[in-house]
Amino acid sequence: MQYIRRKATDLVLDALLRARVVELLGSRQVGKSTLAKAIGESQSATYVSLDDGFLLEAARTDPKAFLRQGADGLLIIDEVQKAPGLIPEIKLLVDSDNRPGQFLLTGSANLLELDMVDESLAGRAEVIDLYGFSQEETHGTHSDFLATVFESSAGHGYRSGLSKDDYVGLIEKGSYPEATARNDDDRPKWFKNYLRLISNRDAKDISELRRLADLPRILRYLASLIGSELVVSNASRDLGIPNSTLRPYIALLDTLYLVHALEPWSRNLTSPVIKNRKAYLLDSGLASYLTRARPDHGALFEDFVIGEILKQNAYKDLEYSLSFFRDYDKNEVDLILQNEREEIAACEVKFTATPAMGHLKVLRKLEARYPEQFKCGVVFYAGTETVRFSEKICFVPADVLWAGTSAADPADPKGPRAARQDVP
């Protein structure tokens, strides 16, 4: 498989210049090990993987001795959640030595949410989330669309060459590096084995819940709800799992970076109009596999587009908060981007090739309701033309999110930094 340079590479390299510990976290098979090894080679680091049974036993038996192999350089520990006893020892080491760049830890679970991790690395570590391939990464491009989305000229004049069928192909392929390399006939087998691995190994590594075999069924149910509110009491009834039992399993899927929940937006950020969250799968290919018996390409398209925005928000360090809007009259906007000035860009996602006035109804209501905060309304759709309805509201082809200059373009702002060793 050809090596694709990840957008998170610069974030990790820069963090190693500042922080004593860097945590690179994401679901199984998103490419954490590949990225960690590439960084390790550029930094002459020591790399160890706790997927190796012998090394795992050594880390659990004598964590102090295990950590000494890093000496005075960078020690990379892959899948650190398998040996949570390393965390307090790392804390002790970096508390007595404030040099940056001592540890790069990767994990297939959010270390901040694990009950078994008693010690926190807060104030000592920087956390970087790694997702599957973004379309920018696979196409080798650099897009400024999200960086300019609050400007009225964002997307102006853009034309796309993609059809609805092209988007379906991208959705079903997903973003896991291994899955994207499989052909269409073989990919479902990969997803089946992936779910088995998550349930039988990764979930057991970090959880003592007893019904882990139900995780694929719960995940399939969440996939069927993409684009809708998650009402846990309804899910409990539909799945036949008690409410109090179900909640920890949904939380576990979040901890394993399989599900991302959007919170409802409100103007003052403290009292949302509604309380329920919306759950999205972090990989559209996995969502497509789970719903293959009854695929809803509108919901899958929404999952795909929001996933691309989530990745860009993380990798470009845009610092937008992501949420959704819905009021008691059931006026709903799929995604609200809010910047540090509390301005908002409201985004709808429609799997259609033809713009329609009805798609703008709630965006126009939101603009009228919050005229000062509302800076832009965007409908991402599967058409080919950018169509501007007003100064602030427009339709844009969804691939504007990754169309742009070549990543190798000299104008690309992500050039190498002299103070560090870059990864190819």
pLDDT in tens, 249-291: 999 999 999 999 999 998 764 555 677 899 999 999 999 999 9
Query: Rounded CA gap, 278 and 337, in Å?
Result: 15
User: For the domain that residue 117 is a member of, what is the CATH number?
Assistant: 3.40.50.300
Structure tokens at 100: 């940056």
Whether residue 141 sits in one domain with residue 95: no
pLDDT tens by residue, 367-418: 999 999 999 999 999 999 999 999 999 999 999 999 975 444 333 333 333 3
What is the spatial distance between Cα 276 and Cα 184, in angstroms, rounded to a whole number?
Answer: 36
> Can you say how many angstroms the Cα of residue 402 is from the centroid of all Cα atoms in its chain?
16
Return the closest-CA partner of residue 99 out of 21, 22, 20.
20
* Residue 167 sits in the same domain as residue 104: no
**How large a percentage of the chain has pLDDT more than 90?**
76
Report pLDDT for 377. Answer: 95
Q: Helix or strand or coil: residue 203?
A: helix
Contacts for 147-155 with beta carbons within 8 Å, 24 or more apart?
A: 147/316, 147/318, 149/337, 149/345, 149/376, 149/378, 150/339, 150/343, 150/345, 150/375, 150/376, 151/376, 152/376, 152/391, 152/392, 154/376, 154/378, 154/396, 155/378, 155/386, 155/394, 155/396, 155/400
Domain membership of residue 103 as a residue range:
9-129
> What is the spatial distance between Cα 269 and Cα 342, in angstroms, rounded to a whole number?
10
Q: Are residues 270 and 390 in the same domain?
A: yes
Question: Is residue 375 domain-resident?
Answer: yes
Contacts for 147 with CB less than 8 Å, ≥ 6 apart? 316, 318
What integer is the mean pLDDT of 107-122?
Answer: 70
Residue 110 confidence (pLDDT) above 90: no
- 103-112, 314-323, 385-394 — which one is most confidently predicted on average? 385-394
Residues 32 and 18 in one domain: yes
Q: What is the mean pLDDT of the chain?
A: 90
Q: How much is the pTM?
A: 0.92
